[in-house]
A and B are shown apart, each in its own frame.
Chain A
Amino acid sequence: MLSPIGPTGGHIYRVSDGKTPKTVVMIQCVGSRSLKANPYCSFVCCSVALKNAQLLKQEYPEMDVIIYYIDIRTTDKGNEEYYRKIREADVRMIRGKVGELTEDDDHNLMVRAYSSLTGELTKIKADMVVLSTGMNPSKGTMEAIEVLGLGKGPNGFLSEIHGCLKPQETKNIGIYICGCAAGPKNIPYSVSTALAAASKAAALLSHKTIIQELIIAEIDETLCSGCHRCEKVCEYKAISINDNKIAQVDELKCKGCGVCISSCPARAIDLKYYRDRQFEAEIKGIGTGELDISQKKSIKIAN
């Protein structure tokens, strides 16, 4: 609404009756940072609300602007300035969660909230209420997770391989994430993650070949019964059951963890270079030679 090229040409009025509001209440963290809704912080709303409040005050100096907040988080570069300016701009900040919001017949709103700083119950008649609603993963994110077999974080956003060290990479080679796909972000942060993702992609494409680990799973087709177990446990979606009802490993996707192997009831899978019989020989070797338990062996009758 405040945007000069927005639907109202930058003028503020109520869509219902065309009245310019005298009192605007902004409510922060609606559906964010709550165990009943999104447990995470939506990252951008505090700064945006402060910026909007300041713009409102510039445009309509007579207007009463009130912000209800839990904490104000102005983390990114330059955002603290909004906070400082808002204090000078005569905007009322009330720390507290809004308990009730009602509307009367004239479309006037009543906001009731407990102020946790003064310990009082506040009641404000507002002409317009602006909610800072939480940011959710888009429907497309869900689809991408399903179709591409990507990882999903606890909040429903895409998950990266490693939040600190590999923040753009997904478990699938050649698929990178940036911006709000991985969680709430503001514009500068989204741009920098997009650049990082692009450079990751460029680095991959700059080589003519992809270097692939040789440690990958291998199926013994004569043993596989097509039970789908390995398919379910593989995090990289590297195994699928083919038309002949036999498991098949996608050699480019397999990372060689070996989780499928120990889950296969038919023992039909083996990991190249880390084969079962190699481990067995290793264990046996340690048991009979390395640890010098041969004297003790006499009292151990293993069956």
Chain B
Amino acid sequence: MPEAKNKAVKQDFEPDILVFCCNWCSYAGADLAGVSRFQYPPNMRIVRVMCSGRVDPSFVLKALKEGADGVLITGCHIGDCHYISGNEYAKERFEKLHRIIIKQLGINEKRVRLEWVSASEGRRFADLITEFTNEIRGLGPLKFY
């Protein structure tokens, strides 16, 4: 089921974005972005997981299936994982997710991204969400047929 290339709807399109945040770094980073009142688009919703290594590829697929136009997985920086190396597994799994599933489904690889955001990077979190939202907005809605 390749992704449809329908550019017509792009104009007033607001993407829906699902963000997986690990409990220790990225979620705290998102919180910091909030309390510091950094602005970012309201298109995303956060699902908190204990560790980025908990994010099963099936969650990503489920999110895309349930209507998300983009999925962002965030975790602690490599070497800073609260659970020592959960983020390394996340990275490994993410690469497999891309190499095998996302490509085979014909979904644009840019729609699913893995990023590291630490608890002190509120600014970065806001910038990342802004940038990702704009990128997905540019790609248009995700459609399956």
Instruction: Give residues 127-145 of B contacting A (CB, 8 Å).
Output: 141-145
Enumerate chain A residues within 8 angstroms of B53, measured Cβ to Cβ. Answer: 257-259, 262
- Distance to closest chain B CB from A217 (angstroms): 10
Cross-chain contact A302 with B65 (CB below 8 angstroms): yes
- Residues of B in contact, count (CB < 8 Å): 35
Enumerate chain B residues within 8 angstroms of A255, measured Cβ to Cβ. Answer: 83
The 10 A-B residue pairs with the shortest CB-CB distance in the complex, in nearest-first order: A287-B66, A258-B54, A257-B83, A259-B53, A287-B67, A262-B56, A257-B51, A235-B84, A291-B16, A293-B67
Enumerate chain A residues within 8 angstroms of B145, measured Cβ to Cβ. Answer: 301
**Residue B50, interface by CB 8 Å:** yes
- Residues of A in contact, count (CB < 8 Å): 36
Cross-chain contact A280 with B83 (CB below 8 angstroms): no
Q: Which of B50, B58, B62, B67 contacts A300 (CB 8 A)?
A: B67
6 CB-based A-B contacts, threshold 8 Å: A258-B86, A276-B58, A283-B66, A283-B68, A291-B43, A300-B67
**Residue A105, interface by CB 8 Å:** no
Complex CA distance for A255 and B56, rounded to whole angstroms: 18
With A283-B18, A286-B18, A286-B45 known as contacts, the answer to whether A261 contacts B54 (CB < 8 A) is yes
Enumerate chain A residues within 8 angstroms of B38, measured Cβ to Cβ. Answer: none
**Residue B120, interface by CB 8 Å:** no
Digitize A264-297: 1 where CB-to-B-CB distance is under 8 Å, 0 elsewhere: 0000000100101001101110111011010011
- A-B CB pair tally, cutoff 8 Å: 108
- Closest partner residue, chain A, to B85 (CB atom): A235
Enumerate chain A residues within 8 angstroms of B59, measured Cβ to Cβ. Answer: 279-280, 283
Which chain A residues have a beta carbon within 8 Å of chain B's beta carbons? 151, 161, 171, 215, 233, 235-236, 255-259, 261-263, 271, 274, 276, 279-280, 282-284, 286-288, 290-291, 293, 296-297, 299-303
Question: Which secondary structure dominates chain B's binding surface?
Answer: loop
Cross-chain contact A257 with B47 (CB below 8 angstroms): no
**Residue in A171, A257, A284, A296 with the greatest tally of chain B CB atoms within 10 Å:** A257
**Residue B93, interface by CB 8 Å:** yes
Q: Which of A236, A271, A293 contacts B16 (CB 8 A)?
A: A293
Cross-chain contact B86 with A257 (CB below 8 angstroms): yes
Which chain B residues have a beta carbon within 8 Å of chain A's beta carbons? 1, 9, 16, 18, 43, 45, 47, 49-51, 53-59, 62-63, 65-68, 82-86, 89, 93, 141-145
- Distance to closest chain A CB from B19 (angstroms): 10
Complex CA distance for A286 and B17, rounded to whole angstroms: 10
- Closest partner residue, chain B, to A282 (CB atom): B47
Cross-chain contact B55 with A262 (CB below 8 angstroms): yes
Given contacts A259-B89, A284-B62, 18 further A-B contacts (CB under 8 A): A235-B86, A258-B86, A259-B86, A262-B56, A262-B89, A271-B50, A279-B47, A279-B49, A283-B62, A283-B63, A283-B66, A286-B47, A286-B63, A293-B67, A299-B143, A300-B142, A302-B65, A303-B1
Cross-chain contact A299 with B141 (CB below 8 angstroms): yes
- Distance to closest chain A CB from B145 (angstroms): 6
- Distance to closest chain B CB from A284 (angstroms): 5
Enumerate chain B residues within 8 angstroms of A151, measured Cβ to Cβ. Answer: 84
- Closest partner residue, chain A, to B57 (CB atom): A262
- Distance to closest chain B CB from A167 (angstroms): 15
- Closest partner residue, chain B, to A215 (CB atom): B50
**Residue in A262, A271, A290, A303 with the greatest tally of chain B CB atoms within 10 Å:** A262
Cross-chain contact B144 with A288 (CB below 8 angstroms): no
Enumerate chain A residues within 8 angstroms of B55, measured Cβ to Cβ. Answer: 262
Cross-chain contact B47 with A258 (CB below 8 angstroms): no
Enumerate chain A residues within 8 angstroms of B56, measured Cβ to Cβ. Answer: 261-262, 276
Cross-chain contact A288 with B54 (CB below 8 angstroms): no
Complex CA distance for A235 and B145, rounded to whole angstroms: 42
Q: Which of B50, B63, B144 contacts A303 (CB 8 A)?
A: B144
Complex CA distance for A283 and B59, rounded to whole angstroms: 8
